[in-house]
């Protein structure tokens, strides 16, 4: 993309409504615009990152064997009356009447709708196990929407639902989700720590939240610092293997890590003193096992191998896709702007032309742009007639991991400059070498 042709409404001043750095930087970098409280338009740059995050979530869900689908945002109240949640959910639920006076709602989550689909089409244990998921907009009429996309009213969420014959099978589905979530967050350059939590309005007493440690996080967390040494890395896992998935769960959840809702002072005191940590975290996902809560209430049953009809065991598993943009920026920025991890960056590299209009510099930039594109990469070329300082400031704000700077002085010696946004280190090299290096870096990103 050439910046002169893009739509990138960068703000020069700090927006006064933003209290935390990710919200401020998303507004300044022209990624989002508030439409009304807790509801945002996703401008082209923000939309690009949202799509990247969504794609990673899709890939990792399908790697784990989960099946994508799409359910609507608007739901009939009748299903929620069946589960009993229509009255329980309270003011967070946006209730709507259609022209016939029927009660509708904008879905805050989808347990009822998916259970209805399941009971309509599945009647035998032979169709199990089954995990369906979708990525769809949700609405929760939060009393205090704040921090931009971090606590929105309308937000984008992946929600998945497993259906299993037995509790053991459903716990394997739970473990499988935990493993796939660890991979998912690491691909986004995030460490998200699974912590024992509370079921809230979803229900179930077996649940973990995934938390990204950050001062601006809304949750208070207590943990053994040894959990921060764990990484999933590039290990291969067989998602059908009960033992392998259980071993990962054991490895990542046996050390003390809890949110304030389930914090237990006596257990925490058993953690060696020098490893006890109290901090704040951003909840980027949550997994639940809730047994037969919805299947019993809504009659989602299957015939087992012994011919008896039994309610299925279920769980639901959510990832805060739009919240993740905020979480990634909270975890990765400096005083100049965002620093995107390679896995989610909106453009792979920026090209800065120091002397727009100079025949040689323009030609070199055009050639670089074409070479990167030919390799399947997506560069952002700052071809505006701006001073170098302004161009650098924009690139730093946008946070692309790599910048190629092209100027007449370097070109005389046959070189351009390749700069890492994260370290600030620059290296001079011929343009082709810069292209090759960038291609190599992204070839290593899953
Ligand atoms: N049905 C279950 C699992 S699919 C569920 O709704 N879980 S949840 O309530 O924990 O939501 C899943 C994730 O959505 C949360 O972990 C969080 O990352 C994200 N989320 C929840 N509320 C908001 C909100 N108001 N704004 C942005 N993201 C949110």
Nearest CA to ligand 1 atom 21: 320
Three-class secondary structure of residue 387 per DSSP? coil
Domain boundaries, the chain: 3-337, 347-443
Give the torsion sign (CA, 254, 255, 261, 266): positive
Instruction: Decide: residue 257, CB within 10 A, 0-12 exposed, 13-18 middle, 19+ buried.
Output: buried
Asked whether 193 and 178 are in contact (CB, 8 A), the reply is no
Nearest CA to ligand 1 atom 17: 320
Find out whether the beta carbon of 142 lies less than 6 Å from any atom of ligand 1.
Answer: yes
Note the residue count of the chain. Answer: 446
Cross-strand bridge partners of residue 133: 68, 160
Per-residue pLDDT tens for 129-186? 999 999 999 999 999 999 999 999 999 999 999 999 999 999 999 999 999 999 999 9
Specify the fold of 347-443: Rossmann fold (3.40.50)
Rounded CA separation 86/74 (Å)? 14
Of 32, 286, 288, 294, the one to substitute when testing ligand 1's pocket (max ligand atoms within 8 A of C-beta) is 286
User: Which of 3.30.930.10, 3.40.50.1860, 1.10.1060.10, 2.40.10.10 would CATH assign to domain 3-337?
Assistant: 3.30.930.10
| Ligand 1 atom at minimum distance from 319 CA | 13
Nearest CA to ligand 1 atom 5: 318
Per-residue pLDDT tens for 108-131? 999 999 999 999 999 999 999 999
Find out whether the beta carbon of 194 lies less than 6 Å from any atom of ligand 1.
Answer: no
What's the Cα-to-Cα distance from 219 to each of 53, 137, 278, 283, rounded to whole Å?
A: 23, 23, 11, 7
Which is more confidently placed, 444 or 352? 352
Q: Do domains 3-337 and 347-443 have the same CATH topology?
A: no
Lowest mean pLDDT among 6-15, 194-203, 280-289, 310-319: 194-203
Nearest CA to ligand 1 atom 10: 286
Q: Which two tokens stand for residue 444?
A: 């290593």
Distance 385 CA to ligand 1 centre (A): 44
């Amino acid at each position: 993309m050439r910046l002169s042709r893009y739509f990138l409404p960068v703000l020069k001043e700090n927006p006064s409504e933003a209290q935390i750095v990710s919200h401020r930087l998303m507004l300044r970098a022209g990624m989002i615009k508030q439409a009304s409280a807790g509801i945002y338009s996703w401008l082209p740059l923000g939309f690009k990152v949202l799509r990247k995050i969504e794609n990673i979530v899709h890939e990792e869900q399908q790697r784990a064997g989960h099946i994508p689908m799409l359910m609507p945002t608007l739901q009939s109240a009748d299903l929620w009356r069946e589960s009993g949640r229509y009255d329980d959910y309270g003011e967070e639920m946006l209730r709507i009447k259609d022209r016939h006076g029927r009660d509708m709602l904008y879905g805050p989550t989808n347990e009822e709708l998916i259970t209805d689909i399941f009971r309509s089409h599945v009647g035998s244990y032979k169709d199990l196990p089954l995990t369906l998921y979708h990525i769809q907009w949700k609405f929760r009429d939060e009393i205090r929407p704040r921090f931009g996309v971090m606590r929105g009213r309308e937000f984008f969420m992946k929600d998945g639902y497993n259906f299993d014959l037995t509790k053991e099978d459903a716990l394997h589905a739970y473990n499988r989700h935990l493993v796939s979530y660890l991979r998912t967050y690491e691909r986004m350059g995030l460490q998200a720590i699974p912590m024992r939590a509370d079921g809230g309005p979803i229900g179930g007493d077996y649940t973990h939240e995934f938390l990204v440690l950050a001062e601006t996080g809304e949750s208070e967390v207590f943990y053994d610092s040894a959990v921060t040494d764990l990484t999933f890395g590039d290990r291969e896992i067989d998602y059908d293997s009960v033992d392998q998935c259980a071993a990962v769960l054991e490895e990542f959840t046996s050390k003390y890590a809890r949110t304030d809702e389930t914090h237990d002072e006596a257990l925490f005191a058993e953690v060696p003193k020098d490893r006890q940590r109290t901090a704040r975290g951003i909840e980027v996902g949550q997994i639940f096992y809730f047994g037969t809560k919805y299947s019993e209430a809504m009659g989602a049953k299957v015939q087992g191998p012994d011919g008896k009809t039994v309610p299925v065991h279920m769980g639901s598993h959510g990832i805060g896709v739009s919240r993740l943009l905020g979480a990634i920026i909270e975890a990765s920025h400096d005083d100049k702007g965002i620093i995107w991890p390679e896995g989610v960056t909106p453009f792979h590299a920026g090209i800065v032309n120091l002397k727009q209009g100079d025949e040689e510099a323009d030609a070199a930039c055009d050639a670089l742009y074409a070479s990167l594109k030919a390799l399947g990469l997506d560069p952002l070329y700052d071809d505006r007639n701006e001073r170098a300082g302004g161009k650098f400031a924009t690139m730093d704000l946008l946070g692309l991991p790599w910048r190629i700077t092209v100027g007449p002085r370097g070109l005389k010696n046959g070189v351009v400059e390749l700069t890492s946004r994260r370290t600030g280190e620059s290296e001079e090299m011929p343009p082709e070498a810069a292209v090759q290096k960038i291609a190599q870096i992204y070839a290593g990103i899953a």
